[in-house]
């Protein structure tokens, strides 16, 4: 018993004598035990710090009166003078810090960030006392629609690999390189093949007199250009 009394005395000493009660969360707009009996907000008419809270939130009360019954109420608006929404009611029989869960959705549908004020009104042997906390109500946003899957542009085909590029280049080189080659080869080849073909008959012919041979050679030489031209043209015609 002595211990209990000592504890009570210690608690009383640790708590301001006329504290009555105070709201610690959300932060109150002001606390003054001398005017705490002035409705609706314990003597504080102007709004205080405004705290954003979820609809499901808690009001924390430091209770310094041994016996008290409190109502937690909500008023909507920037600085409401009435608090029609009853959020909670609780009786206390001991000093202490109490957390009271409340659901601000009891106020109905409000816009996100709607200003409001929580009022705590407590009745004890010291009369009816008030205190307020100014808040804004966080309303859960509509779950965002999954972004309409706008058709994402199909990825560009990858640039040709170096292998493909070299293959193309090689193909082009082969194609372009092949075309001139036969004509050139035909021209030179025809000329080259023409000369021996024309020369051989004269050399293979039964060797008559050198002069005859020379004459034959001259004739052959004279005949070469038209013959070579004809052969060359034939070769070109074949190639074409
Ligand atoms: Cu009191």
200-204: average pLDDT: 41
pLDDT at 216 (0 to 100)? 47
Structure-block tokens of residue 204: 């293979």
CA of 32 to the centre of ligand 1 (A): 12
pLDDT at 6 (0 to 100)? 47
**Given a cut of 60, is residue 39 above it in pLDDT?**
yes
Structure-block tokens of residue 130: 């008030």
CA of 21 to the centre of ligand 1 (A): 7
pLDDT digits (tens, 9 = 90+) for 143-173: 766 666 655 555 565 555 544 444 444 433 3
CA of 119 to the centre of ligand 1 (A): 17
Residues 155, 69 contacting (CB under 8 angstroms): no
CA of 133 to the centre of ligand 1 (A): 19
Residues 59, 88 contacting (CB under 8 angstroms): yes
Residues 128, 121 contacting (CB under 8 angstroms): yes
pLDDT digits (tens, 9 = 90+) for 12-38: 444 445 669 999 999 999 999 999 999
d(CA 30, CA 139): 26
pLDDT at 159 (0 to 100)? 55
Q: Classify 160 as helix, strand or coil.
A: coil
Q: Which domains does the chain have, with CATH numbers?
A: 11-138 (2.70.50.50), 180-239 (no CATH)
pLDDT at 196 (0 to 100)? 40
CA of 63 to the centre of ligand 1 (A): 9
pLDDT band of residue 140 (cuts 50, 70, 90) is confident
pLDDT band of residue 138 (cuts 50, 70, 90) is very high
**Given a cut of 50, is residue 175 above it in pLDDT?**
no
CA-angle at 33, arms to 114 and 3, nearest 5° = 115
Residues 44, 127 contacting (CB under 8 angstroms): no
How many C-beta neighbours within 10 Å does residue 148 have?
6
CA of 124 to the centre of ligand 1 (A): 7
CA of 24 to the centre of ligand 1 (A): 16
Give kind and range of the element (H or E) at residue 193. Answer: helix 180-204
**Given a cut of 70, is residue 206 above it in pLDDT?**
no
CA of 86 to the centre of ligand 1 (A): 22
């Amino acid at each position: 018993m002595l211990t209990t009394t000592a504890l009570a005395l210690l608690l009383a000493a640790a708590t301001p004598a006329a504290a009555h009660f105070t709201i610690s969360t959300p932060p109150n707009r002001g606390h003054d035990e001398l005017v705490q009996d002035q409705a609706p907000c314990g003597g504080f008419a102007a709004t205080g710090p405004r705290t954003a809270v979820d609809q499901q939130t808690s009001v924390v009360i430091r209770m310094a009166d041994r016996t008290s019954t409190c109502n937690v109420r909500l008023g909507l608006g920037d600085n409401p003078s009435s608090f029609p929404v009853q959020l909670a009611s609780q009786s206390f029989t001991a000093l202490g810090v109490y957390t009271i869960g409340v659901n601000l959705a009891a106020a109905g549908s409000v816009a996100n960030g709607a200003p409001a004020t929580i009022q705590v009104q407590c009745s004890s042997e010291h009369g009816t006392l008030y205190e307020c906390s100014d808040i804004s109500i966080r309303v859960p946003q509509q779950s965002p629609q999954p972004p309409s899957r706008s058709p994402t542009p199909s990825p560009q085909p990858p640039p040709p690999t170096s292998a493909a590029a070299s293959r193309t280049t090689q193909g082009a080189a082969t194609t372009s390189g092949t075309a001139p080659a036969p004509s050139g080869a035909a021209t030179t080849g025809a000329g080259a093949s023409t000369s021996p073909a024309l020369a051989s008959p004269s050399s293979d012919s039964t060797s008559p007199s050198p002069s005859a041979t020379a004459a034959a050679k001259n004739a052959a030489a004279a005949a070469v250009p038209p013959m070579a031209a004809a052969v060359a043209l034939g070769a070109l015609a074949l190639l074409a």
